[in-house]
Structure 1
């Protein structure tokens, strides 16, 4: 059975009454209160559910799941429990924590309470041996490990068994990541079930999260144990003032934010849905006098730490971030969170806005949704767990005795590197493969593709997306809406927060200055980005019958692209052009293309134009090439036609794509052309089509190939 205790939403920090302490626990409660004061200051007092959790872990050695809002004090529960257990002679506490930012904040918090903490993650590899030695000597109270470490062969086989045997407490932070139904499911987190199964009955387990609905709570609690104590409290945040500002045009939304940013309290976070949008927005805001910086999953780890510190110290007005800045970032006085584009789930939205107002009386939370949001959601959904035949091709390619590295396996399957790694991690947890030194082995164990489960997940994701759409248009209290999506046990239906735009009737003025709007549109509309050529052939091509390896010496020159589909400027016009019916290139787009070509710093001007054959946009591509030939007085070579016997090229994996495009075109004799050829396509993604076409054209006599495309996804 799963025991459930919900905190009274009216209970805040208070002194413990005599009746609250269990017999024999009074001294322990006093020690816990003392440790909390060391951690959080002299005025701090344990919340009732904090003590219930601590007592369950330290005295009863139970397994518990704590679902409480950001800022409630979940970390205090496990740091205090860790210290109390160490005082009883128990081993160190192991905390599985998903983000480096979270680890840094937690180590800092632990030090304030006299807890000796260390971390093992991808950012401190050089310190691992020293940390292992300190663990063996008993000098560490708390070890924080990233979930990825749990599946590292050396760590899993050498370190993890000892930790499981000696641990005083195991903590799973951001526990919604364990669940398929959670908004941030991570395959590595599934390895935690194995860790928990190996623990002795005397080792307590604590799972914590701020964002979990009933389905996630049940799933996580069941994975932790059969008698898990669940402590859930109200998710209401009295400091948050929620509002939605609807502005159809992306550039106008950017101008609105530029005008209002200085009015928002303190410093905060502005979330964008894509890396390109984050950089575009940061560029515009900085150019208009705002001190901001972009923070994405592509930001170097060292730079991330510096940017986090800058925001913590109010040295920037905002970080313009993707979801890479989310769980674990701890700034109690964060004054605002703005979303330029809506996340795909109300639960993930609440998790992100929960960063604001933890230690302030008021924080502004603003959502600026866009019509392009659904297309971005659709893209991310398209890279979810692949279909059964592709997964089985991974299993078939693996040996049970000779390990294959991910790089060696990639050419054998139709998956790119990131999706292949995700599949391997899931199969590893399912017992069908095993990660060892040198790569991956098949176990030979039977494996069943859970079609029903993946279909249920797809339906759930669609429901979450619709709920996010409903949040934007609802006339009810926005906080009540979000709390109901998280099945908040403290929610009384029909209540109103009295703070959101729907409750107060206060609406944001959407007007922007025409001059400023024009300046921003001009800045975002600057056409042209570089298209770097592929430099290295993918590994394993020989296994596909292609004798190419090492550096690419016969590919194209550096090319140019009009714009990214994901950016705030040209993305808004190129996306409908490429998603709509095939048609000749519009005049506005063509004029922008001529600007890109005029500013192209090529070593030698092209003498001819050639359009790539397109099965989806032949009219768009051919018309663009023809008009460029006419205005540039270039020889029009027509269309580089694909061989009629060639099957459709659909492989996402680099090696398979190269193999599919090898000698794929009917190439004319180009020896008489003389000079570079401008090779035109509507969309370029991986760069392999341009690479393989250029190689074939150069073998037919072309001097050089200059790739040009209207768009690239990111």
Structure 2
């Protein structure tokens, strides 16, 4: 075919579509905006050719502009081929609520009517569904989890798939279990894709897919046009600073945060670290807010808006913020601790510098990072025997809720829910109103694939360490991790050019950080309710724990995830740590806790009259020396130990119901302890090394209460989370 024969009405029509597309873009992004060539290629493929497209482009390239422009064109039917029906609403599958809110606001600027269905607006669902049926919605944003909500899946999804004018899969690397943020619910998109009418265009977008993930996603889409661009971010200046301790990292922030341009994000690896960092920076006069999965939605919204309006210097966030935030003038991203993957790191730093000339990106890795990575890796897909146990407890005709299933299996709630989602996608179970059903379909535990995924994750962690230690160009390093064929030295990072920051911290900031992180003491909240469903495993406990069997509020030195005490505590209470007497440092911290507990705002209701220890097979010397020290300093009698026939560690790995099942009548109060309790007329201090779920302390305390203790005040070295 010659060039002459290709030019005709079709090319004229395409030129007209491009002109209209440029007009929509100007409404969206300003009078001087023009389409990039690959943006136009994607829009053309979607609106004229009705194809499936995978865009792998850097953050800030304009992927959202592609689907908003395509939506406007499809809804106006300007690109419809003969016989094509008018386009229904664009459905955008988006991973996080924050991203949805940004997208709704962006759509409005282009005159596009966007709505969202998610867990935060349940009361609006019926109204939105009516608007969709009336054709009043141009864009519907839904979370991947919504695809398998029984009501949505059975009553809304079939009609929505049949009428969808364009399907958009945002953050499409989540579709692939090789992606850095794989989510089982994204695999539901296969069902959605299968229900789409012929010639329904599909757009998948991501900024963080290497060659393997790109090929996997493209294969799942079908016959897809892959548009992959260079991943350099010429506004970002990457740097790594090696600081010896958490206090040095907080001190560095206190000294340098004012020098960082504009407002930005400080990422941490744990909720505790985010909370501590925000509290410390506020104590040093900085306006900051914390953003974690444990913060209420209204508070998260307020924090997002404060950052968007530049009312705060920084948002201190966990990965709960992750992909879900869009602030083009974000001036910096600092990581207090390294993410476990360079690809995830590229994703997060990509939030900065989208509409400013320079943005600073600083990584402050910690020696505790690897331990945190191992912890999160331990929450991966369970071993086969646990999966088979879950399947054996499911019925094909009587749904059982996750809550009711929990007492029957030895898995914590979050891990159980993730496993059920994977089994649902694999066809072994089905979510229905009221819970989960077994499908009866054969299912194979794919040991080889799970091992390969685990190996890939381990390799990513090693690569992240290499990034932090590298003396080569940092942007080139990240681009090569993403298989960018155009990767080359950036000329801007701390290894390519003169570093903008050094590792020096002021004595005043370091002293303040040391004092802040060195404060021992965190509350052990008492259990007040029994886990649900215990009757299913033969335990006749339910509802509220009776006042005569409850323990009081307690204290611990800190959490294992704390920036300050976390490292010291992990060294002595972790399962692999050797046993031995308590250190002088921890003993002194316990004394400080007791002083504060006796005289603080939340002082104990009555001074304890004795000390009792929880018998331990794992750390008997540690706990006994701790109890002896408390008794000696407090001039209290050490009555002895509450013991169990089985190691309490065996009951510390499962969910709450399983722990209560194992321990509800396992504790023995020796005669010498039981005989002394009634005459005390005051609570006893119950001492242990680690509080995980809290049920060991609660049930040991219950045994003491039933033996005559006036009250029980728990005291431990550490809380697990």
TM class by shorter-chain length? over 0.9
Query: 1:622 and 2:624 equivalent?
Result: yes
TM-score by length of 2: 0.94
2:556 paired residue number: 561
SS at structure 2 position matched to 1:309: helix
SS at structure 2 position matched to 1:181: coil
1:30 paired residue number: 19
- Identify the match of residue 136 of structure 1 among 114, 128, 133: 133
Query: 1:308 and 2:295 equivalent?
Result: no
1:687 paired residue number: 694
Q: 1:531 to 1:315 in 2, by over 3 A?
A: same
CA distance in 2, matches of 1:666, 1:645: 13
Query: 1:275 and 2:271 equivalent?
Result: yes
Q: 1:645 to 1:614 in 2, by over 3 A?
A: closer
The alpha carbon displacement at 1:24 in A equals: 2.6
2:676 paired residue number: 672
- Identify the match of residue 106 of structure 1 among 103, 106, 109: 103
Query: 1:506 and 2:513 equivalent?
Result: no
CA distance in 1, matches of 2:632, 2:251: 38
The alpha carbon displacement at 1:233 in A equals: 0.4
The alpha carbon displacement at 1:505 in A equals: 3.9
Conserved? CA contact 2:641–2:669, under 8 Å: no
2:58 paired residue number: 69
Matched pairs, number:
693
CA distance in 1, matches of 2:135, 2:508: 65
Query: 1:383 and 2:383 equivalent?
Result: no
Deviations 1:348-369 (A, max 9, x none): 0000000000001100000000
CA distance in 1, matches of 2:419, 2:649: 26
2:523 paired residue number: 530
CA distance in 2, matches of 1:257, 1:136: 52
CA distance in 2, matches of 1:356, 1:430: 37
Deviations 1:398-430 (A, max 9, x none): 111111111111111111111111111111111
Query: 1:476 and 2:469 equivalent?
Result: no
Q: Aligned runs of 1:224-263 on 2, under 5 Å?
A: 224-225=221-222, 227-263=223-259
- Identify the match of residue 374 of structure 1 among 370, 389, 392: 370
Q: 1:568 to 1:100 in 2, by over 3 A?
A: same
1:172 paired residue number: 169
Q: Aligned runs of 1:499-648 on 2, under 5 Å?
A: 499-506=492-499, 508-553=501-546, 554-579=549-574, 580-600=577-597, 601-643=603-645, 648=650
CA distance in 2, matches of 1:289, 1:650: 41
SS at structure 1 position matched to 2:676: coil
Conserved? CA contact 2:254–2:509, under 8 Å: no
Deviations 1:309-336 (A, max 9, x none): 1101110000111111121311111000
Conserved? CA contact 1:337–1:353, under 8 Å: yes
Deviates more, 1:200-209 or 1:260-269: 200-209
Conserved? CA contact 2:648–2:696, under 8 Å: no
2:195 paired residue number: 198
Conserved? CA contact 2:333–2:352, under 8 Å: yes
CA distance in 1, matches of 2:324, 2:623: 47
- Identify the match of residue 712 of structure 2 among 693, 705, 709: 705
The alpha carbon displacement at 1:490 in A equals: 2.6
The alpha carbon displacement at 1:694 in A equals: 1.0
Q: 1:645 to 1:287 in 2, by over 3 A?
A: closer
Query: 1:85 and 2:74 equivalent?
Result: yes
Deviations 1:629-667 (A, max 9, x none): 111111112222222598932541111110111221221
CA distance in 1, matches of 2:690, 2:640: 18
CA distance in 1, matches of 2:22, 2:502: 48
CA distance in 2, matches of 1:507, 1:146: 40
Conserved? CA contact 2:424–2:431, under 8 Å: yes
CA distance in 2, matches of 1:256, 1:22: 58
Conserved? CA contact 2:641–2:670, under 8 Å: no
- Identify the match of residue 188 of structure 1 among 177, 185, 195: 185
TM-score by length of 1: 0.95
2:654 paired residue number: 652
CA distance in 2, matches of 1:207, 1:667: 62
Deviates more, 1:482-491 or 1:277-286: 482-491
SS at structure 1 position matched to 2:709: coil
CA distance in 2, matches of 1:633, 1:24: 91
2:600 paired residue number: none
CA distance in 1, matches of 2:567, 2:432: 46
- Identify the match of residue 283 of structure 2 among 287, 300, 305: 287
SS at structure 2 position matched to 1:603: coil
2:83 paired residue number: none
CA distance in 2, matches of 1:627, 1:149: 54
SS at structure 2 position matched to 1:504: coil
1:400 paired residue number: 396
CA distance in 1, matches of 2:641, 2:117: 55
- Identify the match of residue 153 of structure 2 among 128, 137, 156: 156
The alpha carbon displacement at 1:545 in A equals: 1.4
Q: Any stretches of 5+ residues in structure 1 without a counterpart?
A: 1-17
Question: What is the root-mean-square deviation in Å for CA atoms of aligned residues?
Answer: 1.5
Query: 1:215 and 2:225 equivalent?
Result: no
Q: Any stretches of 5+ residues in structure 2 without a counterpart?
A: 1-6, 78-85, 598-602
Conserved? CA contact 1:255–1:520, under 8 Å: yes
CA distance in 2, matches of 1:516, 1:145: 45
Q: 1:507 to 1:313 in 2, by over 3 A?
A: closer
Q: Aligned runs of 1:482-497 on 2, under 5 Å?
A: 482-491=478-487, 495-497=488-490
CA distance in 2, matches of 1:298, 1:645: 32
Q: 1:610 to 1:208 in 2, by over 3 A?
A: same
The alpha carbon displacement at 1:627 in A equals: 1.1
Conserved? CA contact 2:652–2:693, under 8 Å: no
1:120 paired residue number: 117
1:9 paired residue number: none
